[in-house]
Structure 1
Amino acid sequence: MSNITTIHPSQKNKKYIYEIHFLRAFACLAVVGVHVSATNYGMNEDTWNWFTYFLNQIGRFGTPIFAVISGFLLFYQVKRRGFELGHFFQSRLTKILFPFLIWSLAYRLLLYVYDNQSLGDLGAEVLKIVTGNSFYHLYFVVIVIQFYFIFPFLQKIFRTQTFLLILTFVSLLISYNLYGFNPGLEGPLGEFLASKSFMPIWIFYFAFGGFLAYFWDEIVQFATKRPWKMLVLALILSAGAVVEYTINGYVANNRPSNLINIPLLCIAVIGMYPLLSKWNVLKKPLTLIGQYSMGIYLIHPMILYLFARHLPEQYWHVNYVPAMFIAVMLIAVIFIRVVQMIPFSSFVIPVPKIKKVKNVSPPEEGNLEKKQLA
């Protein structure tokens, strides 16, 4: 096969796919955009400017794309390397669960120091953590952890393209029918099942990630031959999102329209890679953001929280929003680099290690680095 994903069999376990890396960078930028704009909204007496509202709503693509990437990486590893249960849970424990617990405690301490939020009893505090309520962004990590519990069963059953098609279709029905789900239960369990932290609402995005993994060669071959058309598709989807929130008002990231938008947008970004990778001014920053995306996701709300309590009022004018966005990204990257100097830093912020090896793809079809999958 002669597309950009072709590698020698002896090197296949070292392969890293830049298209997914770029997709992860775009998802990260979108999520940060949502939270920068939301913080600006809160600091302006809950008032939107047209720009902050646009940034907030267009960024609602980010979280579902992260779910797609999570599903892709899991199914892609099984496709290439097989599955070993002990290694899987050990890997997830060190790369996801430990950082999640550490940052949950860090944000709880932040609220205790700045907002004087007293600690509740042990059961209440544990419940906050396991439901992702320690801070507003941690719910997504809880969603991913829930998926880890069912993934060993899914990968056992759905290991072919045909079965992945079935899984994707069934998951689409589940996610669609669970939109606005209310179990009719009271108490913590009912609240959790009705919340956006309940993983089955997001199951389609994880399954679509598996679909991408098992149809990767076909999708890349189709999309990367049409980079300009993929760019147009991405712009059309973005324009459609603007029309949607203009007509319907504020929309969430798990809205039903994203069940169509997200697959198309993922394919569009994959197809845009050959176009974007020609310019180092885009390629290098996006590569770094993709590599640091997990750390940026974990730390950026804390940066915004501290900004909100220490920056003078004039810096919350809408004109400063782009500068604040850049500042948040730069501070997050610098923080991650500093943390990497600390022993056992991967338990705090996991950063994939890059292994550069000789390119094996034809130069006209794109250069590849081989990297350990996150």
Structure 2
Amino acid sequence: MSAESANQSSKNSKKYIFEIHFLRAFACLAVVAVHVSATNYGMNDETWSDFSYFLNQVGRFGTPIFAVISGFLLFYQVKRKGFKLGRFFTSRLSKILIPFLAWSLIYRYLLYYYNNQAIGEPWAEIKKILMGDSFYHLYFVAIVVQFYVIFPFLQKLFRTQTLMLVFTFISLLISYNLYGFNPGLEGEWGEFLASKSFMPIWIFYFAFGGLLAYFWDEILSFATKRPWKMLILALIITAGAVVEYTLEGAVSNRRLSNLVNIPLLCIATIGIYPLLAKSNFIKKPLTLIGQYSMGIYLIHPLILYLFARHLPEQYWNMNYIPLMFVAVMLIAVIFIGLFSFIPLSGFVIPVPKIKKSTKPHEAGEGVQQKKQPA
């Protein structure tokens, strides 16, 4: 490899790190917006304001984007470094599975303590954990774990751009045809196959993440050269979501339109990065949120749960939703920052490392590089 090619490869690696990191921050903010607005809805006798309804519906882009990012990081790592089964499972065990189990137990105890939910039969409790039913947000971590189970086979089958296009197309057909899927089965298997925790419903988003990884240079070049057009595209998608929920009523994060919205929104957000990265006032908080996104995802429902039980009624005024959102984010970030000093804290709240770069970059690139394991 020539010095010029090596330098370009290094730049692309740095740019990849930050655009995807940026995308993760927006996904995190969207998910928190959904749950803050939903909690406010519940605390106001199941009443929406225009603003809380907007946050709740538009924020539903967040969870599928997290699936895209998960797929991207896994396939990009294989593309760059190859695949070692032992390292893969060790990494996933310590950074995802153990925190998932820990938080499943934390939320189970929370419901036992506050809601007097008695501990059931061992198999019933295990099944609840496996399906991500310990609390309302953990189903997505269960989905990611399911994808990890099949990823060793997928990465072996799909290792070129052409094959990744094939995988993405097949996955699109699977996710499309599983919309509203009813297996017609009774019992536990039927319940699982019809649930939102059934991973194949989401497989297109993981596959698109892989496509993004294998066509990263081309997509990055196209999007970042057109930041204002990408901003307009993101606003058009947001406006389309408003029209959709206005006409159709409340929609879920598994709606069919997301099969188009999510790929376009991911590319648009990546393209917007050079605009927002120019301002440290915007860039630094988003960098921190991106770094802490897994921890924020795990902990923010706990904060909202405790708020709902201990904050006086006047704080649930609908006009306070922005302040509630900021408060949840601040508490989560501060707690994670302090908690990270505790030995072995990564087994409860994984926080990826960010290290300073030793070389200056272009204006659109970051000044730090994130060490992101597969």
| TM-score normalised by length of structure 1 | 0.96
Aligned residue number for residue 244 of structure 1: 244
| TM-score normalised by length of structure 2 | 0.96
- How has the CA–CA distance of structure 1 residues 134 and 365 changed in structure 2, closer, same or farther, with 3 Å as cutoff? closer
* 1:49-75: CA deviation from partner (whole Å, max 9, x where unpaired): 111110000000000000000000000
After TM superposition, give the deviation of residue 369 of structure 1 in Å.
Answer: 2.6
After TM superposition, give the deviation of residue 355 of structure 1 in Å.
Answer: 2.0
- How has the CA–CA distance of structure 1 residues 291 and 365 changed in structure 2, closer, same or farther, with 3 Å as cutoff? closer
Secondary structure (helix, strand or coil) at the match of 2:182 reads coil
Native 8 Å contact 1:16 1:371 kept in 2: no
Native 8 Å contact 1:23 1:270 kept in 2: yes
Native 8 Å contact 1:23 1:266 kept in 2: yes
Aligned residue number for residue 371 of structure 1: 370
Instruction: After the TM superposition, list the runs of 4 or more consecutive aligned residues in structure 1 that deviate by more than 4 angstroms.
Output: 5-16
Aligned residue number for residue 132 of structure 1: 132
Aligned residue number for residue 63 of structure 1: 63
Aligned residue number for residue 182 of structure 1: 182
Write out aligned runs for 1:91-102 (5 A). 91-102=91-102
After TM superposition, give the deviation of residue 258 of structure 1 in Å.
Answer: 0.1
Native 8 Å contact 1:33 1:325 kept in 2: yes
Aligned residue number for residue 354 of structure 1: 354
Native 8 Å contact 1:18 1:368 kept in 2: no
Q: Counterpart amino acid of 2:88? A: F
Query: 2: distance between equivalents of 1:81 and 1:255?
Result: 35
Aligned residue number for residue 36 of structure 1: 36
Aligned residue number for residue 166 of structure 1: 166
After TM superposition, give the deviation of residue 15 of structure 1 in Å.
Answer: 7.8
* 1:232-280: CA deviation from partner (whole Å, max 9, x where unpaired): 0000000000000000000000100000000000000000000010111
Native 8 Å contact 2:278 2:363 kept in 1: no
- How has the CA–CA distance of structure 1 residues 26 and 117 changed in structure 2, closer, same or farther, with 3 Å as cutoff? same
- How has the CA–CA distance of structure 1 residues 320 and 6 changed in structure 2, closer, same or farther, with 3 Å as cutoff? farther
After TM superposition, give the deviation of residue 8 of structure 1 in Å.
Answer: 6.1
Query: 2: distance between equivalents of 1:307 and 1:189?
Result: 36
- How has the CA–CA distance of structure 1 residues 12 and 230 changed in structure 2, closer, same or farther, with 3 Å as cutoff? closer
Secondary structure (helix, strand or coil) at the match of 1:17 reads helix
Aligned residue number for residue 119 of structure 1: 119
What is the RMSD computed on CA atoms of the aligned residues?
A: 1.8
- How has the CA–CA distance of structure 1 residues 133 and 95 changed in structure 2, closer, same or farther, with 3 Å as cutoff? same
Write out aligned runs for 1:1-374 (5 A). 7=7, 17-359=17-359, 361=361, 363-374=362-373
Secondary structure (helix, strand or coil) at the match of 2:162 reads helix
* 1:318-343: CA deviation from partner (whole Å, max 9, x where unpaired): 11100000000000001101211111
Unpaired stretches in structure 1, ≥5 consecutive residues? none
Native 8 Å contact 2:71 2:205 kept in 1: yes
After TM superposition, give the deviation of residue 44 of structure 1 in Å.
Answer: 0.7
Secondary structure (helix, strand or coil) at the match of 2:69 reads helix
Query: 1: distance between equivalents of 2:278 and 2:285?
Result: 13
- How has the CA–CA distance of structure 1 residues 110 and 312 changed in structure 2, closer, same or farther, with 3 Å as cutoff? same
After TM superposition, give the deviation of residue 370 of structure 1 in Å.
Answer: 2.5
- How has the CA–CA distance of structure 1 residues 295 and 128 changed in structure 2, closer, same or farther, with 3 Å as cutoff? same
Q: Counterpart amino acid of 2:371? A: Q
Query: 2: distance between equivalents of 1:132 and 1:106?
Result: 13
Secondary structure (helix, strand or coil) at the match of 1:355 reads strand
Query: 2: distance between equivalents of 1:280 and 1:36?
Result: 26
Query: 1: distance between equivalents of 2:51 and 2:141?
Result: 28
Query: 1: distance between equivalents of 2:216 and 2:125?
Result: 42
Query: 2: distance between equivalents of 1:102 and 1:132?
Result: 12
Query: 2: distance between equivalents of 1:182 and 1:365?
Result: 47
Q: Counterpart amino acid of 1:120? A: G
After TM superposition, give the deviation of residue 366 of structure 1 in Å.
Answer: 2.6
- How has the CA–CA distance of structure 1 residues 285 and 365 changed in structure 2, closer, same or farther, with 3 Å as cutoff? closer
Native 8 Å contact 1:16 1:369 kept in 2: no
Query: 1: distance between equivalents of 2:30 and 2:14?
Result: 29
